[in-house]
């Protein structure tokens, strides 16, 4: 009877060892796939990049809307083409200063 128990225990331990080896192979394969995916996907920088702060989506929409309204106003109220172009270029040059003055949260 003890020989039969020893044989069954040996069979059971062999089966557990096969399952353990299969689990280890699956884990190694999963880690390898994750490392490949990590290497291939570009990394996104989180947080602040640079000295300027970021604006919220609403603030950016307001900036674009204000600029579009100003350009449409320039094109509809100014007759001379050279003056139109000069005013649009001036608006685009001064726009960062306007944004800092208008949206500064300090």
| pLDDT tens over the chain, length 106 residues | 788 999 999 999 999 999 999 999 999 999 999 998 888 888 776 665 555 556 778 888 889 999 999 999 999 999 999 999 999 999 999 998 888 888 875 5
User: Residue 72's pLDDT is what?
Assistant: 96
User: Residue 86's pLDDT is what?
Assistant: 96
User: Residue 51's pLDDT is what?
Assistant: 54
Closest C-alpha to 74, from 86, 62, 57: 86
Residues 42, 43, 47: CA angle, nearest 5 degrees? 145
* pTM (whole model) above 0.75: no
User: Residue 102's pLDDT is what?
Assistant: 83
Residues 96, 49, 65: CA angle, nearest 5 degrees? 35
Backbone φ and ψ of 83, nearest 5°: -70, -40
Query: 81-103 vs 57-77: helix axis angle to the nearest 10?
Result: 150
């Amino acid at each position: 009877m003890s020989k039969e128990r020893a044989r069954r225990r040996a069979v059971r331990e062999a089966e557990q060892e096969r399952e353990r080896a299969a689990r280890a192979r699956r884990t190694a394969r999963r880690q390898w796939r994750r490392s490949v995916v990590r290497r291939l996907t570009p990394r996104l920088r989180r947080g602040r990049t640079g000295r300027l702060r970021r604006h919220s989506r609403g603030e950016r929409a307001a900036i674009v809307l204000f600029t579009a309204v100003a350009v449409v106003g320039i094109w509809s109220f100014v007759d001379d083409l050279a003056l139109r172009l000069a005013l649009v270029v001036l608006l685009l040059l001064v726009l960062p200063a306007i944004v800092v003055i208008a949206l500064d949260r300090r």
